[in-house]
Each structure stands twice: as structure tokens, then as C-alpha cells.
């Protein structure tokens, strides 16, 4: 089923340079119109972002960052354009031809063409993620029918391994797809692996009643009892948030429904998670799953993954391992305290901010979005499914895809669904951060778009070159007007205008205070146009994709869609909650620990970072770094190799 939205959107369209001009600068004035198709000459703001995936070693080293512009030297025509990040040599004067070459290439790497920034099938990125030996060992045990719990510190590839396990089990039970129950402790974690919550699968509601009452509830529920009877493998992710009492209740229900005294009634149980991360929600004393009376019999094998993929710095890995155990050394405390310094990046992408509370996240994202003076475009989710309204509401609330997504040009966004394979390039993965540069037709070819953009900029540049001389008083006005004519909606780096130049700019309605000028219209309730997003990869490459709606769904064991949502697979990415960040990998992250309230919360937040260089920590208090004593004791008694390796 295809979904459609309203067509009307307000766009800026530059007047063609070959049309008669009524005045010296009239061809640079903007025209605003309401159209029902993509703009013939859309405006663009070039920027960049950081990814959350790991590259093949052949993609290294990344390209060097831009050298700072020498403010004392005479400004060149392209240096002020916000999308030009090509390296500058302050000691070398820039001619018209080199300035435009920098402009039309968008700061492209040497010896490359613009197509290298697009969907290149020859990119040296592994099309298939291979497992490490210890990960492969876990997969082999699962395929042999072993019940197992695999754990490991953050960044050891638990999520990647679990996806491989799910795929392999589905293949093994291809003729009986309802034999594999995919569940997690939270709705968010369940959505991430294409499953449902353990409570929903079990048919127990909140699960607070005594086990006999829960068993009766399941037996009265035809659908729930059928699921239990057909299940051969039960997968539970994020086990740290499942308490021991619930685990025992699940085991009891399984043995009774299967009429077997074997652990879990003979169901193979595959469990993943890290007890050092977020604990179960409890009104009284916390009871972990390993505290359950049936844990040891149900889970005969426990494997601790030790190879860290997310971080490569051994010092940082040691610091995180100390934090995981709640035992920070003086050196580690000193290093974490030094991380309060600001992070600055010349590509314009700011670090993703992590907060302990939802209110902090909403305030940060809202403030950043409101600061952008470009037009707002609102995308409303299209929901459906067979589930009862109450259940569907819960399912949809747990999805990363939001009910209403407001975007603007220059908004920082995060991809929330893997698009690799049939739907997109392999590098377009969950957690990748980028920036909206325009709103375009869904069928637009980014290659054609960028080539068209180059031609527009060349026309504008040549026109300006004929209008202005290279006199000192005009040299700072020329790029400013070019910037305004392209509607970049981004402040320039020039000082305020003065004298005759200021008067000339004022007569044309151009800004004189050092800004590029902005335009704001009423937000659209919906749009046929979709975002064109620029992604900046870890190896220095840039990629552009048109982001279309994707389907997010919750299925039952028979593969029937219970709840579904059609929405852009994007969220605003200036800030997110620590809870939602669990499982994410962030190249640049700013963590505010002022309102942390739970054991393991700081560890979850800081372990999202891939390096110390890309991590900023605010309001760090070593007294708040806590690991649960029971988790520490159980781990030391049951896990081998608590110190992760690289």
C-alpha cells in the first residue's frame, strides 16, 4: 500500500540569470511561489555529519580537516560560503577560477569527481558484516540448540550478533516461522530487533499477579496459549531490565503450557544483554534475572564477549571498564573531568547531546530547531495494524519513529532504521547522523540534483563577477550577496557592512549586519517533497540520499502485522535521551550527567562514544558512577575475562 501526502509546499526559486534585469542586482532577488512539483532550481546548503558504523580498514585514513582561514588575508570569493570546506592555504591568493572550482566541487577531495560522493557501488565497505571467532562460537552453539546467555561490555557487538542469530534461526525454521519468538524487555529494544515485548508475547499484561493466576490468564487467552505451544526458541534481549521474579513466572508458564518438567518446558532460550546497564524498574529491592530460582537450570551456558569494536583506544576502553565495575581510578577520574571542554568541528555538525530526562531532550531539540529561520516542513505518521487500539497505542509509542516530525533545512537528523540492501546503500545504517540540505521530489536523482546545483552556482558566480570590481570595499559584499541569493539561511562570517557598500546592500534589501538573511513561512502540515540529506562518513567521504518514508511494524509470531507506522526514518539528532541511546554508536557526543538517577546510567551514556576525542562530559560527578553490588559479585563469579580486549 502506498501512502501519499499533501502536495503544496512553499519553496524559494532564484530568477534565471539570463532574464532581463530591471536593476543592477535585480536578477539576484528572490521570488516566492506556491508550487505542486519539485523546484526547478532548489537551493542547497552543504554540510556534513558523522556515522555510527565501522569502516573497512581500506577506507582509512580519513581526509584531513580544513585549515583555518586567515582572517588577515584578503577574503576570496568562495571562502565564506558555508558549504565550502576544501582546504585553504592562507599564503596563496585565490583566483576566480580556483575559487569557483572550490565552489562547484563542494570541497571535494583531490582527484575525485562529484559522483564519488553519491551512491557508489564500488565503495570499499564490506557488504556483509563478518563475525569474530567468539561471536561465531555463540552462533554455532545457538544453532546446535543450546540455551545460552551472551553478554559483554558496551561495544562488543551484542546487537550485531543477535541480528545474525535471529536471521539464522528464521532460516532454520523457515517452514515454521512462528517457532521463533523474538522478544525484549522494553518496547524500544523489541522494535530494534523486529520483535515484541516479553510481556506481550507471554500474554501476561504487567505480570504482577502470582504465577498461577498468570497461567490461568494465558490459558484463557487463545492467542497467547497458541504462541506458547508453537514456540521452539525464545529470544529475550536487554535482559538487564527483566527482574528475577518475572523470569521465574515465565519459566513456570512455559513448563505448564508445554507439559514438560524441562527448563522452560524444553524451549530453547537465547538471552542477550549486559547486567551492568540499565536495571529492572522496581518499587522495592531490585531483583535481577540471574537471581531467579530457575536461571541456572534454564541457562546452562554463559559467554562473555570481550572484543570491543566500538572503541579502539585502549585507554578509553580501560576507563569504561572501570566505570562499568563502578571502580574508577584517580587517573580515570582526572581524564573524565578534563572532558568538559567544548568540541568544535569545522563541518558544522555538532555532537549529539545525551540527557537523563525526556524534558531536557525536548527542550534542546526544540531550541535548536526554532533557531533555524528556514521553512518548517511537518511529516505526520500514517498508522495502522490489526492490534486493538490500546495495544497499538503502546506499540507505536515504543517506536523510534515519531508521530509528527518537523524538519527544516540545516536540521541535524539521525537515521533510525538500517537502509542497507534493497532499500539503500550498505553504509546507510541506524545511528548515522546527517543534515537536511533541501526538500525534493521523492524520485529525484541526487547526482542530477548536484550537477544542476553546480550550474546554478556557476551562473550566479559569473553574474556577480561582472557586477563587482575587485576593489577592497566590494570584496566582502560579493560573496555575501551570492550567499543570500542561494538562500542558504546560514549566518556568514563577515563583519557588518559600512559606507557606500552598506547603502548599496540596503537598497537591494540585503542584510548588512553580518548575516545572510532568512525567510520564514508558516509550516506545512504535510508535504509531497522529502528531505535530501547529506551524510559525512568517518573516512571523510560525503554521501547524499533522498530519504523516503519507511515502514515500522510489530508482528505476531505468525508474521501478521499488529501495529504499523509509515514515517520518515529520521529523528532530530541534536539531542536524545540516555535511555534511547542504549545500543547506539556515536562518533561525536556531548553528555550532560546533571540529572542521572540510576545505576549504570552514566556507563550507558559514556560508552556510546567511540573515542575520547569525540566525547564531551558535563557535570561529571565520580560519586554518581555506580554499579550494582549484586551484579559485580555475580559477574566475578560467573564471567571470564571481564576486562574487554581490543
**pLDDT tens-place string over residues 277-327:** 888 877 677 889 999 999 999 999 999 998 888 888 889 989 998 999 899
| Most confident listed range (7-11, 470-474, 501-505, 577-581) | 577-581
List, as one string, the DSSP characters of 115-143: GGGS--TT-S--SSPPPPHHHHHHHHHHH
The verdict on residue 75 lying in a domain is: no
- Band the pLDDT of 181: cuts 50, 70, 90: very high
CB 232 within 8 Å of CB 220: no
CB 333 within 8 Å of CB 606: no
Residue bearing cell 536524545: 576
Who's near 84: CB < 8 A, 6+ residues apart?
A: 46, 78, 102, 103, 106, 107
Residue bearing cell 545572510: 516
pLDDT at 468: 53
**482 or 137: which leads in pLDDT:** 137
The verdict on residue 366 lying in a domain is: no
Domain enclosing residue 213, as ranges: 133-305
Dist CA 203 CA 218 (whole Å): 6
Strand order in the sheet with 196-197: 196-197, 180-184, 233-237, 268-272, 148-152, 301-305
The number of folded domains in the chain is 1
Give me the mean pLDDT over the 221-236 stretch. Answer: 93
Residue bearing cell 576570496: 76
Tell me phi and psi for residue 297, to 5 degrees: -70, -35
Dist CA 47 CA 573 (whole Å): 15
The verdict on residue 248 lying in a domain is: yes
The rounded mean pLDDT for the chain is 73
Dist CA 242 CA 198 (whole Å): 9
All 3 cell numbers of residue 219? 490459558
pLDDT at 504: 56
- Band the pLDDT of 246: cuts 50, 70, 90: very high
pLDDT digits (tens, 9 = 90+) for 501-535: 556 555 555 555 544 333 333 344 345 899 999 98
The verdict on residue 258 lying in a domain is: yes
- Band the pLDDT of 192: cuts 50, 70, 90: confident
Dist CA 49 CA 430 (whole Å): 14
Q: Where are the beta strands (DSSP E) in 346-488?
A: 352-355, 377-380, 382-384, 404-407, 412-415, 433-440
pLDDT at 508: 52
pLDDT at 163: 92
What DSSP state is assigned to residue 486?
T
Dist CA 414 CA 433 (whole Å): 4
All 3 cell numbers of residue 459? 551562473
The verdict on residue 631 lying in a domain is: no
Least confident of 199-208, 318-327, 422-431, 603-612: 422-431
pLDDT at 477: 54
**Residues annotated in the binding site for ATP, as ranges?**
152-159
Cα–Cα distances in Å, from 577 out to 165, 248, 365, 438, 582?
28, 31, 11, 27, 9
The verdict on residue 8 lying in a domain is: no
pLDDT at 391: 86
CB 505 within 8 Å of CB 477: yes
Strand order in the sheet with 382-384: 382-384, 561-567, 550-555
**Residues annotated in the binding site, as ranges?**
152-159
The verdict on residue 365 lying in a domain is: no
Tell me phi and psi for residue 415, to 5 degrees: -75, 130
**357 or 114: which leads in pLDDT:** 357
DSSP H or E segment with residue 184: strand 180-184
**392 or 194: which leads in pLDDT:** 392
The verdict on residue 472 lying in a domain is: no
List, as one string, the DSSP characters of 313-324: -HHHHHHHHHHH
Locate all alpha helices (DSSP H) within 259-329, ordered by sequence.
Answer: 295-298, 314-325
pLDDT at 503: 60
Give me the mean pLDDT over the 35-54 stretch. Answer: 34
Cα–Cα distances in Å, from 240 out to 218, 276, 281, 605?
25, 7, 10, 16
pLDDT at 310: 80
All 3 cell numbers of residue 468? 563587482
CATH number for the domain harbouring residue 148: 3.40.50.300
C-alpha Rg value of the chain to the nearest Å? 28
Dist CA 358 CA 554 (whole Å): 24
Give me the mean pLDDT over the 76-90 stretch. Answer: 34
Amino acid at each position: 500500500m502506498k501512502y501519499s501526502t499533501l502536495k503544496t509546499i512553499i519553496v524559494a526559486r532564484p530568477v534565471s540569470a539570463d532574464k532581463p534585469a530591471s536593476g543592477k542586482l535585480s536578477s539576484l532577488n528572490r521570488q516566492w511561489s506556491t508550487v505542486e512539483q519539485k523546484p526547478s532550481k532548489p537551493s542547497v546548503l552543504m554540510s556534513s555529519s558523522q556515522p555510527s558504523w565501522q569502516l573497512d580498514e581500506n577506507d582509512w585514513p580519513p581526509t584531513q580537516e580544513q585549515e583555518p582561514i586567515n582572517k588577515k588575508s584578503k577574503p576570496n570569493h568562495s571562502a565564506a560560503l558555508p558549504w565550502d570546506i576544501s582546504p585553504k592555504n592562507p599564503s596563496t591568493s585565490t583566483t576566480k577560477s580556483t575559487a569557483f572550482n572550490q565552489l562547484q566541487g563542494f570541497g571535494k577531495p583531490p582527484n575525485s569527481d562529484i559522483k564519488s560522493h553519491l551512491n557508489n557501488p564500488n565503495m570499499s565497505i564490506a557488504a556483509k558484516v563478518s563475525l569474530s571467532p567468539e561471536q561465531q562460537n555463540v552462533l554455532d552453539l545457538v544453532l546446535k540448540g543450546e540455551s545460552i546467555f551472551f553478554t559483554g561490555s558496551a561495544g562488543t557487538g551484542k546487537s550485531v550478533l543477535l541480528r545474525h542469530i535471529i536471521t539464522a534461526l528464521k532460516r532454520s525454521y523457515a517452514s515454521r516461522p512462528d517457532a521463533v519468538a523474538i522478544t525484549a524487555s522494553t518496547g524500544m529494544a523489541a522494535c530494534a530487533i523486529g520483535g515484541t515485548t516479553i510481556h506481550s508475547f507471554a500474554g501476561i499484561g504487567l505480570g504482577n499477579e502470582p504465577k498461577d493466576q498468570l497461567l490461568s490468564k494465558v490459558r484463557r487467552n487463545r492467542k497467547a496459549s497458541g504462541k506458547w505451544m508453537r514456540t521452539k526458541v525464545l529470544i529475550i534481549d536487554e535482559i538487564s531490565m527483566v527482574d528475577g521474579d518475572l523470569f521465574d513466572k515465565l519459566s513456570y508458564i512455559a513448563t505448564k503450557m508445554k507439559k514438560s518438567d524441562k527448563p522452560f518446558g524444553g524451549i530453547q532460550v537465547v538471552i542477550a544483554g549486559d547486567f551492568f546497564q540499565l536495571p529492572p524498574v522496581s518499587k522495592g529491592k531490585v531483583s535481577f534475572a540471574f537471581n531467579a530460582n530457575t536461571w541456572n537450570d534454564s541457562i546452562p551456558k554463559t559467554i562473555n564477549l570481550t572484543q570491543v569494536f566500538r572503541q579502539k583506544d585502549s585507554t578509553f576502553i580501560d576507563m569504561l571498564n572501570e566505570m562499568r565495575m563502578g571502580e574508577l581510578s584517580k587517573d580515570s577520574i582526572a581524564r573524565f573531568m578534563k572532558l568538559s571542554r567544548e568540541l568544535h568541528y569545522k563541518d558544522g555538525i555538532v555532537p549529539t547531546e545525551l540527557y537523563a530526562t525526556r524534558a531536557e531532550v525536548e527542550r534542546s531539540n526544540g531550541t535548536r530547531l526554532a533557531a533555524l529561520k528556514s521553512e518548517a516542513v511537518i511529516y505526520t505518521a500514517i498508522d495502522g495494524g490489526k492490534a486493538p487500539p490500546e495495544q497499538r497505542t503502546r506499540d507505536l509509542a515504543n517506536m523510534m519513529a515519531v508521530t509528527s516530525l518537523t524538519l527544516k533545512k540545516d536540521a541535524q537528523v539521525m537515521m533510525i532504521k538500517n537502509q542497507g540492501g534493497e532499500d539503500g546503500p550498505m553504509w546507510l545504517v541506524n545511528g548515522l547522523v546527517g543534515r537536511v540540505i533541501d526538500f525534493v521530489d521523492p524520485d529525484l536523482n541526487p547526482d542530477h540534483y548536484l550537477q544542476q546545483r553546480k550550474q546554478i552556482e556557476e551562473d550566479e558566480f559569473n553574474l556577480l563577477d561582472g557586477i563587482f570590481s575587485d576593489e577592497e570595499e566590494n570584496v566582502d559584499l560579493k560573496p555575501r550577496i551570492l550567499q543570500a541569493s542561494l538562500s542558504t539561511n546560514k549566518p556568514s562570517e563577515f563583519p557588518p557592512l559600512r559606507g557606500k557598500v552598506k547603502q548599496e546592500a540596503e537598497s537591494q534589501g540585503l542584510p548588512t549586519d553580518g548575516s545572510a538573511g532568512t525567510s520564514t513561512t508558516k509550516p506545512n502540515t504535510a508535504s509531497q517533497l522529502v528531505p535530501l540529506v547529506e551524510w559525512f562518513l568517518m573516512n571523510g567521504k560525503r554521501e547524499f540520499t533522498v530519504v523516503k518514508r519507511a515502514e515500522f511494524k510489530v508482528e505476531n509470531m505468525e508474521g501478521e502485522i499488529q501495529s504499523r507506522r509509515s514515517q520518515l526514518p529520521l529523528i532530530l539528532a541534536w539531542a536524545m535521551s540516555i535511555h534511547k541511546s542504549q545500543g547506539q554508536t556515536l562518533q561525536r557526543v556531548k553528555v550532560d550527567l546533571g540529572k542521572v538517577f540510576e545505576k549504570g546510567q552514566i556507563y550507558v551514556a559514556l560508552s556510546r562514544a567511540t573515542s575520547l576525542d569525540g566525547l564531551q562530559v558535563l557535570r561529571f560527578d565520580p560519586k554518581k558512577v555506580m554499579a550494582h553490588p549484586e551484579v559485580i559479585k555475580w559477574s566475578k563469579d560467573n564471567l571470564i575475562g571481564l576486562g574487554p580486549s581490543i
